Structure 1
Amino acid sequence: MRTPSTTLIHVLVGKSIVETLLVGALAVFTFITMLPPFFHGWGEVRDTGISGWVVNNAAPWERVEVQLFVDGEFVAARAANESRPDVLAAGWSRDEWHGYTFALTQLSLGSHEARVYALHDSAGGLRKTLQLLGDPIRFSVAQGGKLKLPNR
């Protein structure tokens, strides 16, 4: 026979479980809709700089502003609006104009690390966030200013 106190305990435990599941579902929904990885892209070392591509997944027809940081210091920003037919061929965008190139001429000899970020405007342009594109790019500067990947 159930007493009123055990019924109340079961109701409270059930209510707590339902509330926990609801809060968890809301957290997952918020994360998925509010904080998606907006950008897809990649950067690589060239002889005289860093180049790559970036696409805004939510609006693949838009051009994206990218920022380059080398060894943790801001170097430059520009729009990714150079031709990259490989991006179109891979199906990442509706056109080929998503490439960028940063010339690096003032670096010291030795090892460095570059990071390329896509700039995302939110809240009507009131808030700006950066999303890292790909992995950090490790490279070295040889005599003559030529950039190369480590161990090459």
Structure 2
Amino acid sequence: MPYEYVLQSPEKVEIRYEIGGIGSRALAAVLDDLLVLVVVSLIVAVIALLEDSFQTLTGLVSRFGETLTGILFLFLAYVLWFAYYIGFEILWNGQTPGKRALGLRVMMLDGTPVTPYAIFIRELVRIVDALPICVLGYNVAGALA
């Protein structure tokens, strides 16, 4: 039986919301993160191609080209990831493409649409939630290098 959240309106009418399970939430997050990854990868690929073309035309080679491309990738990934969730949840009434595909929505506890302030706070918490994964990735990459 799915979890439900029951809300009683001022008119004493019960409104029931089914709470999304861990599987549907995780799948929505994976879909959203894949979409962000594809967009960031395309942008960085275009920038890398432009950088290579510039180096070929001018004969200048940057010692830090690969490092700068990596830093640019991480910066764009962070900014787009943050903006993606905030933008879609504000514009699509608490949904992102991943949430919409799975029929999920973020809302306030009283059943009203989520506010921009609440969305911003959610994104700050999302950053903290992602830190262990980032540290794990950093440690694995360091061990493989």
TM-score (norm. length: structure 1): 0.24
Higher helix share: 2
Higher strand share: 1
Which structure would you say has the larger Rg?
A: 1
TM-score (norm. length: structure 2): 0.25
